[in-house]
Structure 1
Amino acid sequence: MNFKIIITFFIILGFISCKSTAELKAPKNVILLISDGTGLSQISSAFYYKESIPNYTRFQNIGLINTSSSEQDVTDSAAGATAFACGVKTYNGAIGVDANKKNVKNIVEIVSAKNIKTGVIATSAITHATPASFYAHVFNRGQEEDIALHLTKSEIDFFAGGGLNYFTQRKDGQNLLNTLKNNQFTINTDTLSDFSKIESTQKVAFLLAEKEMPKIEDGRGDFLSKATELGIEFLNKDNSGFFLMSEGSQIDWGGHNNDAPYLISELIDFDNVIGKVLDFAEKDGNTLVVVTSDHETGGFTLAAKKKKREDGSEYSDYSEIGPTFSTGGHSATLIPVFAYGPGSEKFIGVYENNEIFEKILNVTNWDK
């Protein structure tokens, strides 16, 4: 009798397990937010310098990724973003190609074939390494005129950022704005427009600076938040599902410059974007949000501030922070991953950066 009871228990448990697995909800939309050059210390700065509670506190599912590229322990943004966009480890400088320089399908190409809308946003030039990895295939990230040409022929439905010169001031004399128009893009080179003005258009391009967008310190304002909200509204207009990548590009540049105020102001701007995206995802209920970075830059540390006594000797004042840097380049520190929404539990743990790609395709069933 006891044996029969045990067998019955496991059969019932099996049915419950199968039912629970079947009822797991697949997200319809994915928003990938990338804070270029951001490690844990950069994120921590928001907890000390932002005047309100950071939006990072709203996540419960958190993991860590190893960012090393195929040939180097310390990655660059091109290899790092290609891992996210294409699911492969590659060499530093590579955009959308593997370690053997062969083109690899990116997530935009994969999901566009399924009638899923796609978009990319950046505070850098839209041809810069991170956004480029989601639509281009070149051997070297420095080929920005070639990357711009790839964008005109890509499946992207919405993009916003800088980089106008790579479309209009080209060595080959082409004006790629004409190519974009021929490929059904509505183009604005002055400002972000209201949704009502682009709602009926098929594709939208905003190229709002000759190269990179201005710094927050130089008056960029809330471009990244507004562009991301506009991108969500545009890509979601027919409710067919969408993938959007939005990058806070210049956190990285503050790290390279060892400029703490620059870095922190850009990080706080990115945290504001997280808030807007989570507000949408909470109301929508069908959106997976993944927040991470390609690598850390600057060896940034929230150290105790160094002060001097009257005799000239130094001491550390543990009541005040004095941000410091250990390098002008990148580091190999593990990078946090924050996830919210359906499938977000799959992003818990410690894993390789290219697994972000695999996890997104798996939880959405876009790999089917």
Structure 2
Amino acid sequence: MRFKFPILLLLLALSLNSCVSVQVKDNTVTKVSQENKKPKNIILMIGDGMGLSQVSAAIYYKNGKPNFERFSTIGLSKTSSASDLITDSAAGATVFSTGVKTYNGAIGVNQDTLAVPTIVEQLSTRRLATGIVATSSIQHATPASFYAHVKSRRMYDEITEFAPNSGVNFFAGGGLKFFNQRKDGKDLLAEMKAKDYELITNQLPKTPSEKNELILLAEDGMPKMSQGRGDFLPNATKLALEKLSKNEKGFFLMVEGSQIDWGGHDNDADYLIEELLDFDKTLGVALDFAKQNGETLVIVTADHETGGFTLASDGSDYNKIKPTFSTTGHSGTMVPVFAEGPGAFLFNGIYESTEIYHKMMALFDK
């Protein structure tokens, strides 16, 4: 194809800016996209224990096209912690919340057990809205790592004490008993209400509150999908987005499909796949919002893989899949990173898990 001189000059100028791409047809620029456009909002979605085989299960077991296939940018994350080749969820999530590799079991602290500021804390001081949604208790390793600082993930009562002053505008998950059935006798629900939180324990509301929200629908972890949890995760995500998007400065939302990991630990393929498909449905909520909003980056990844999950053949029958496991623990395999929206191109390639935090913060540092 031969270009007229003005078009050639334009292409030359654009080539000097690697963050701009164009399409040319019949000597006419038909599309210009700014890759260096930064997002106003970021949704980080963590499929706990979700490796590539877990993602692949959505392709084989979902009726219809998986939402995973809607992403245009895909990378790989190296998940080892500072203490072990194979990370746990605490160190794995602290990486995302602080950008620091730490020891297994650490919640928001470095190798010396010193608190490290989380992305939630940093953005809250800038008056961005923040939210945490999980199908575990909100004191479980992954959600806790975004607002608490303790030396051990099992310190659930101590983790809960960080909630009133966390700056988180929207909590949804389980974990009620750590607020009101405590060994120290403290009534942390009263403290939450004093901090302008509306407490909801019966069902997920249809519309967001004007106040901060603490939605605790289980004493500890939420029920399994097989136990009737229903659309809690996609609906809680939708509710969080409706609330947080009212903030003109922007928002950060962390959503965890917690029980993908639990199915892996149990070596229960049905459990794992049901939770994975629930997570995929939730991706659709986030992607639909981001597409309509135009200023939102959606990132999907995992802290580690659990179970050594494999979609093997059923013996010599290569037309039948038999899900299998190699461990009841975690594995050291790299995990996928999916990104869609402004800044997504930064998540191409293979990199340490710490880079996910640093890339997010770089996008927020406008």
Taking structure 2 as the reference length, the TM-score comes to 0.91
Give the aligned residue type for 2:117.
K
Q: What is the CA–CA distance in structure 1 between the aligned matches of 2:81 and 2:307, rounded to whole Å?
A: 18
C-alpha distance 318-20 of structure 1, shift in aligned 2 (>3 A):
closer
Aligned to 1:81: 93
Runs of 4+ in 1 over 4 A off after TM superposition: 12-16, 18-23
Q: Does 1:212 align with 2:224?
A: no
Cα pair 1:26 1:365 within 8 Å, conserved: no
Give the aligned residue type for 2:345.
E
Of 239, 246, 253, 1:230 maps to 239
Aligned to 2:73: 61
Q: What is the CA–CA distance in structure 2 between the aligned matches of 1:174 and 1:302, rounded to whole Å?
A: 48
Cα pair 1:163 1:212 within 8 Å, conserved: yes
Aligned to 2:59: 47
Matched ranges for 1:196-275 at <5 A: 198=209, 200-201=210-211, 203-275=212-284
Q: Does 1:136 align with 2:148?
A: yes
Give the aligned residue type for 1:193.
P
Q: Tell me the CA shift for residue 217 of structure 1.
A: 0.5
Q: Does 1:98 align with 2:110?
A: yes
Q: Does 1:181 align with 2:190?
A: no
Q: Tell me the CA shift for residue 96 of structure 1.
A: 0.4
Cα pair 2:263 2:271 within 8 Å, conserved: yes
Q: What is the CA–CA distance in structure 2 between the aligned matches of 1:118 and 1:65, rounded to whole Å?
A: 24
C-alpha distance 13-334 of structure 1, shift in aligned 2 (>3 A):
same
**Secondary structure at 2:270 match in 1:** helix
Aligned to 1:336: 336
Q: Tell me the CA shift for residue 194 of structure 1.
A: 1.8
Aligned to 1:27: 39
Q: What is the CA–CA distance in structure 1 between the aligned matches of 2:52 and 2:285, rounded to whole Å?
A: 21
Q: Tell me the CA shift for residue 112 of structure 1.
A: 0.9
Q: What is the CA–CA distance in structure 2 between the aligned matches of 1:257 and 1:29, rounded to whole Å?
A: 35
Aligned to 1:3: none
Give the aligned residue type for 1:82.
T
Aligned to 1:192: 204
Q: Which runs of 5+ in 2 are unaligned?
A: 1-8, 22-32
Q: Does 1:365 align with 2:365?
A: yes
* Number of matched pairs: 344
Aligned to 2:302: 293
Q: What is the CA–CA distance in structure 1 between the aligned matches of 2:132 and 2:66, rounded to whole Å?
A: 24
Deviates more, 1:340-349 or 1:238-247: 238-247
Taking structure 1 as the reference length, the TM-score comes to 0.91
Give the aligned residue type for 1:98.
N
Aligned to 1:309: none
Give the aligned residue type for 1:255.
G
1:114-166 deviation per Cα after TM superposition (whole angstroms, max 9, x unaligned): 11000001000010000000000000000001001111221101010001001
1:289-317 deviation per Cα after TM superposition (whole angstroms, max 9, x unaligned): 000000000000000113xxxxxxxxx21
Q: What is the CA–CA distance in structure 2 between the aligned matches of 1:256 and 1:239, rounded to whole Å?
A: 41
Identity %: 53
1:12-48 deviation per Cα after TM superposition (whole angstroms, max 9, x unaligned): 7499528959962110000000000000000001111
Give the aligned residue type for 2:305.
E
Aligned to 1:4: none
Q: Tell me the CA shift for residue 254 of structure 1.
A: 0.3
Q: What is the CA–CA distance in structure 2 between the aligned matches of 1:163 and 1:18, rounded to whole Å?
A: 47
Aligned to 1:347: 347
Aligned CA-pair RMSD: 1.7
Cα pair 1:96 1:103 within 8 Å, conserved: yes
**Secondary structure at 2:324 match in 1:** coil
